[in-house]
């Protein structure tokens, strides 16, 4: 049976990249407007392709799209 600390020591000895937390990604007002048009289905084909590419490259921006989509829902009265 391995020593309980052996696993930790082996992990620390490897050349793995540092683990870091995710910070909230800042979204520019220009990109937020594009996201709003994208969510509402009102962007051009070029804008749509740009937004899709950016979301694929930076998936941490997806929550911003979700917020824009939720903002389009009517508020219950």
Q: Is 39 a residue whose pLDDT tops 60?
A: yes
**CA 4, chain centre distance (Å):** 36
Whether pLDDT at 20 is above 60? no
Q: Is 53 exposed, middle or buried (0-12, 13-18, 19+ CB in 10 A)?
A: exposed
The pLDDT confidence band at residue 76, using thresholds 50, 70 and 90, is confident
Q: Please, which pLDDT band fits residue 18 given cuts at 50, 70 and 90?
A: low
Distance of CA 72 to the CA centre of its chain: 20
47-61 tens-digit pLDDT: 999 999 999 999 899
| pTM score, whole prediction | 0.62
SS3 of the chain: helix, strand, coil, percent, to 5: 60, 0, 40
| 59-71 residue pLDDT tens | 899 888 988 898 8
Domain layout of the chain by residue ranges: 6-71
Residues 6 or more apart from 27 whose CB is under 8 A from it? Answer: 35, 61, 64
């Amino acid at each position: 049976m391995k020593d309980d600390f052996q696993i930790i020591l082996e992990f620390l000895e490897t050349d793995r990249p540092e683990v870091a937390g995710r910070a909230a990604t800042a979204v520019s007002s220009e990109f937020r407007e594009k996201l709003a048009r994208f969510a509402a289905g009102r962007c051009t084909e070029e804008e749509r392709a740009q937004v899709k590419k950016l979301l694929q490259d930076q998936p941490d921006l997806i929550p911003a799209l979700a917020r824009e989509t939720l903002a389009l829902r009517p508020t219950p009265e």
